Amino acid sequence: MEKGFSESKIKIDETTKDLKKEKKGLASFLKGKKFTYTLPGKKQINIFGSIVLGLNILLVLVVILYLKNQEFHDFIFNVGR
C-alpha cells in the first residue's frame, strides 16, 4: 500500500453516476431551455440611474421635511398608526 497521494487515476463506478439526483421542479423545466444574459445598453443604464438618483433625492427631502416641519412630522406620525 502506497503512502501519500497516488498519481494513478481513480475509476468512477457506475453506481456513483446513478447516485446523482435527477433535477426536479423548476430546474427540470429549465434544463432544455437556453437563456442568455445581455448587458443593458447605455440608454437603459441612464434610465435606471436617473430613477435611483431621483428616489434618493426624494428620500432625503422627505427626511429633512420630517425633521424640520412639525406639521409634516405629526402627519407622518398619525398616518403610521
User: Do the beta carbons of residue 62 and residue 69 sit within 8 Å?
Assistant: no
The CA-CA-CA angle for residues 52, 36, 40, to 5°, reads 25
Residue spans per domain, the chain: 40-81
Tell me the per-residue pLDDT of 23-75, one tens digit each, with 9 for 90 and over: 677 777 777 777 777 888 999 999 999 999 999 999 999 999 999 999 999 99
Q: Which of 15, 33, 12 is nearest to 23 (CA)?
A: 33
Amino acid identity of 77?
F
Phi, psi of 8 (to 5 degrees): -75, 150
Quick one: pLDDT at residue 74? 93
Quick one: pLDDT at residue 78? 92
- Given pLDDT bands bounded at 50, 70 and 90, which one contains residue 8? low
